[in-house]
Amino acid sequence: MPLELLSLVLFLAAIAVYSCKAGRNTFWFILILLLLTLFIVLNATLFASNYFTGEGINDAVLYTLTNSLTGAGVSKYVVPAIGLITALFLLFCFLSWLLRRRRRPHHLGWSLLAIACAAGSVQTTPAFRQVKDLLASHTRLADSDFESWYKVPGKRIAQPKLNLVYIYGESLERTYFDTQAFPGLAPELNQEKAQSMDFSNTEQLPGTDYTIAGMVASQCGIPLFAPFDGNASASLSSFYPQTLCLGDILKNSGYENWFIQGADLRFAGKDTFLLSHGFNPENLYGSQELKSRVADPAYRNNWGYYDDTVMDEVFKQYEALSRQQKRFALFTLTVDTHHPDGFISRSCQRKSYSYAGKPNQSFSAVACSQEHVARLIARIKASPWFKNTVIVVSSDHLAMNNTAHPYLIKLPRRDLFMIIRGDQPQAEVLDGRRSTLDNGATVLDLLGGDKALGLGRSSLSSASLSSQFDDMAKKITAWKADIIQLWNFPDKMDSFTIDQPKNTFSFSGATFKLPILFRIGDKQVEPLPEGEYAAPLRYQLADFAASDKFVWVDRCFKMGRLWQPQLALSTDLCLAMGQTGGHPQVTRIDKPVWQGKAQFPPQTVSAATYALTTQQMRVEDNAIRYRADSFLLTLPGAPQSVKQFSGISRPESWGRWSNANLAPAVNIEYVDPLPARFDLVITARAFGANAHRPIPVRVGDQEQLLQLSDDFSTTTLHFTNPGGSHQLIITPPEPQLTNVGNIPGQDPRKLGIGMVEIKVIPQAQ
């Protein structure tokens, strides 16, 4: 019997035995409910992870969920996530009812049998095995033979040859180019592949199976394994700081390195990685940086700019650098083929591809995106500089669980890696076993450098480690601890520096971006970052044990509300240190560069204090209430005088926008009736077409008109409220659909006015 089926049978047996035979007993009921719930949660996690990766719970899931998700296009996953949470809740309620529906005296023997079945169901489920293996790989001791296989190349190429154009195709695996399985899917790029050195047997290894990991693998010859629990490398100001990567060698050899992509550079720490390894900030272009360069800044998808726009920018840069006769390496990354179903640009010739008798969005996105990649290659080949250029096209990783995935997994799957040489055109299929770890070494060899890079070997002149080990994936996993040691990350925190102008926190040679939270253990310092899509730091802190020591640097109002009320309205930077079950110390950072020490004097840890503190930490932003005589839009929540509000977007450093996607008007409902006579003082600005337009502001039956410009100003409106209305309603006349100020990856907002402060001042009758 397969283990998956055995696990399900044991789960059902546990329910049947306990509900029909065991009888009622609170202790045994709670124990079996916990085990059965664990079974459900593990399998739900596996299901959700598989929805993203197609490979279950792996390092990609761990990295992405605990890392900066800035720039992630997550809006398409909101509905599935809500559905999954709702289903889990209903299943939990049904399970509780099922276990207790029969009234009979408790029988210890039947309870023990039910518990044994429940425990067996957990132990045999694939999700348990995947989590167990993942945790084991993070705690495994270093493998002694790692150093004999890890190679550090020379720092520079003695006589550099050729300029480099390196194209990462998002999820563009080689399987898509199987013309028998998917006829007519990628004819343009298939034609270019037929004229290239095509490395047909490039496998994907652990720690290389998502975008930033694929980039690290191809440029550094190592998988991306993070140096601490939580994989918080995007919060670091450097990335594998002691590792020599392809970008470093190219820069040392006189190359000017460039990177251009349509998505946000900050997502998953791509900017940090590139800046750490040979790329200058002025040569990095993502969705934010391209705004001023592209012909149509509004033409974009949820991730960023479409591939047709980006490939045009890449060719412009190729022309400019070539004309300047500079030695350069130009990297780019597509985005239109990103899971779950991709995006179709407006300029592609084929906007739809049908499979199994119906249109498939992921295949359609591949058909469209490959046109743009092939067109870029054709333009470079037609240019007078092609003879001095080598073009590389590779997958960043295999496709994750997109709408084409069910068809891809039926075929042998390999990553794409092909090389087109301008100096020596060569059409050849090389079928030697290799991995994406070998990509950087192969490029380095081609440009005249060394033939090994990290764990990578040049496929032009060396045997890949994938061909030297029977199970390279297993070997890589065994080396995880050794690879983590390459970060040389400190395991203790004594003194530290907070640099406000640089927005960084530094200790023992490691530097992190703010805000940041650290769990301080006896032999480990675990950083936990915050991004627009990650849980706020206070939610992460709420998961600490009562006695866990922490250091937290963030805006004062976030921690002041919990432990120091006089700072609850301050937007300054503060430091909190202590334990969640005690009384942490909160200090306002009053100098541009502030020195401190991680000190934790003995204190009483109280379960009651811990429960109250964690409860306050988990209050949702809009439910927070603070003591103030006005509505301060720079803070989360509202003053205690406000019962509820709608139509207002998230807090930003200056205040908040009205957002007609949330509600057609800003509606603020106060706890008590507004005064019979009062002045309404509003500090705000208008957005777009709402500037210099009458903006209705209504209280009860009375309406006043507010006029705002593009700049912030303070306006006083006079109201009478004979009906005792509780509501203040502001209706911008023409909300504008825009990505201005938006979190990358989210749907555009409909902005009307930007509000800083709203104050009600009672007047005498």
- Annotate 492-504 with DSSP letters as a single string: ---EEEEETTTTE
Residue 326 lies in a domain: yes
Residue pair 508/524 in contact (Cβ under 8 Å)? The answer is: no
Give Cα 424 distance to the centre of its chain. Answer: 41
Report the DSSP beta bridge partners of residue 192. none
The confidence score (pLDDT) of residue 610 equals: 95
Do 161 and 100 lie in one domain? The reply is: no
pLDDT of residue 741: 80
Same domain, 113 and 167: no
Does a structural domain hold residue 304? Answer: yes
Q: How far is CA 460 from CA 72, 347, 659, in A?
A: 36, 37, 56
Which residue, among 626, 728, 712, 639, has the nearest Cα to 679 in the 3D structure? Answer: 728
Residues 672 and 678: their CA atoms lie apart, in Å, by 14
Q: Residue 386 carries which DSSP code?
A: G
Owner of token pair 């890949």: 464
Cβ atoms of residues 567 and 555 within 8 Å: no
pLDDT band for 511, please (50, 70, 90 cuts): confident
Rounded alpha-carbon distances, angstroms, from residue 750 to 17, 240, 693, 736: 56, 41, 16, 5
Structure confidence at residue 383 as a pLDDT band (50, 70, 90): very high
My answer on whether 110 and 152 are in the same domain is no
How do strand 656-659 and strand 666-670 relate by DSSP bridges? unpaired
Find the Cα–Cα–Cα–Cα dihedral 617, 618, 623, 628, rounded to 10°: 0
Amino acid at 739: N
What lies within 8 Å, CB to CB, of 620 at 6+ separation is: none
Residue 275 lies in a domain: yes
Has residue 490 been placed in a domain? no
The whole-angstrom separation of Cα 555 and Cα 536 is: 12
Between helix 3-17 and helix 108-124 the angle, nearest 10°, is 160
Q: State how far the alpha carbon of 231 is from the alpha carbons of 15, 218, 274, in Å.
A: 37, 19, 18
Q: Return the axis-axis angle of helices 607-617 and 556-563, rounded to nearest 10°.
A: 140
Domain boundary among the residues 586, 619, 652 is at 619
Query: Using CA atoms, how far apart are residues 158 and 253, in angstroms rounded to an integer?
Result: 7
In 660-733 the beta strands, taken as DSSP E runs, fall at 666-670, 677-686, 695-699, 702-706, 713-720, 727-730
Query: Is residue 422 domain-resident?
Result: yes
Contact 534, 68 (CB under 8 A): yes
Say yes or no: 460 and 338 in one domain. yes
Q: Is 269 left (phi over 0), alpha (psi -120 to 50) or beta?
A: left
677 and 755 in a common domain? yes
764 or 331, greater pLDDT = 331
The pLDDT, as a whole number, for residue 122 is 80
Mean pLDDT of the chain: 88
The residues that bridge with 644 in the sheet, in sequence order, are: 669
Phi, psi at residue 490, to the nearest 5°?
Answer: -65, 145
Place of tokens 């930007």: 754
Structure tokens, 12: 């059902």
Element (H, E) at 366: helix 361-382
Q: Predicted confidence band at 134 (pLDDT cuts at 50, 70, 90)?
A: low
Q: Cβ contacts of residue 751 below 8 Å, gap of 6+?
A: 649, 657, 658, 659, 660, 687, 688, 735, 736, 738, 740, 741
Global pTM exceeds 0.85: no
Pick from 485, 508, 526: which residue ends a domain? Answer: 485
Average pLDDT over residues 168-188: 96
Tokens of 595: 């020195």
CB 659 within 8 A of CB 753: no
Q: Which burial class, exposed, middle or buried, applies to 480 when counting CB atoms under 10 A from its CB (0-12, 13-18, 19+)? A: buried
**Backbone torsions φ then ψ of 232, nearest 5 degrees:** -90, 40
Greater pLDDT, 510 or 690: 690
User: pLDDT, tens digit, for every residue of 204-240?
Assistant: 999 998 899 999 999 999 999 875 533 344 556 678 8
Residue with tokens 């709420």: 542
User: Is the domain of 385 the same as that of 276?
Assistant: yes
Q: Taking 90 as the threshold, does the pLDDT of residue 200 lie above it? A: yes
pLDDT at 391: 98
Same domain, 27 and 120: yes
Confidence of residue 99 (pLDDT cuts 50, 70, 90): low
Helix axes 78-100, 26-53, angle to 10 degrees: 160
- At 55, the amino acid letter reads E
Residues 564 and 645 in one domain: no
For CA atoms 28, 32, 37, 38, the dihedral sign is: positive
Specify the pLDDT at position 63. Answer: 46
SS (H, E, C) 178-236: CCCCCCCCCHHHHHHHHCCEEECCEECCCCCCCHHHHHHHHHHCCCCCCCCCCCCHHHE
Whole-angstrom distance, CA of residue 592 vs CA of residue 308: 44
Report yes or no on 706 lying in a domain.
yes
Burial class (CB in 10 A: 0-12, 13-18, 19+), 356: exposed
Domain carrying residue 319:
146-485
* Within a domain: 373: yes
Concatenating the DSSP letter of every residue in 35-64 gives HHHHHHHHHHHHHHHHHHHSS-S-HHHHHH
Same structural domain for residues 79 and 196?
A: no
Q: Report whether pLDDT(699) > 50.
A: yes
**Same domain membership, residue 208 and residue 70:** no
Q: Which residue has the tokens 């197609």?
A: 54
Domain boundary among 619, 635, 650: 619
pLDDT tens column, 583-609: 999 999 999 999 999 999 988 899 999
CATH number of 647's domain? 2.60.120.430
Q: Within this chain, do residues 455 and 469 fall inside the same structural domain, yes or no? A: yes
Rounded to 5°, angle at Cα 534 from 533 and 535: 120
> Are the C-beta atoms of 435 and 398 separated by less than 8 Å?
no
pLDDT at 732: 97
How many independent structural domains does the chain possess?
Answer: 4
Residues forming beta bridges with residue 576, ordered by sequence position: 552, 586
Pick from 40-54, 374-388, 478-492: least confident: 40-54
| CATH classification of the domain holding 389 | 3.40.720.10
Residue 690 lies in a domain: yes
Tell me: pLDDT of 706 over 90.
yes
Residue 271 has pLDDT above 80, yes or no: yes
pLDDT tens per residue across span 631-663: 999 999 999 999 999 999 999 999 999 999 999
Question: What is the separation, in whole angstroms, between the first and last Cα of the chain?
Answer: 83
Residues 155 and 132 in one domain: no
Check whether 490 has a pLDDT greater than 90: no
The angle, 0 to 180 degrees and rounded to 10, between the axes of the packed helices 3-17 and 26-53 is 150
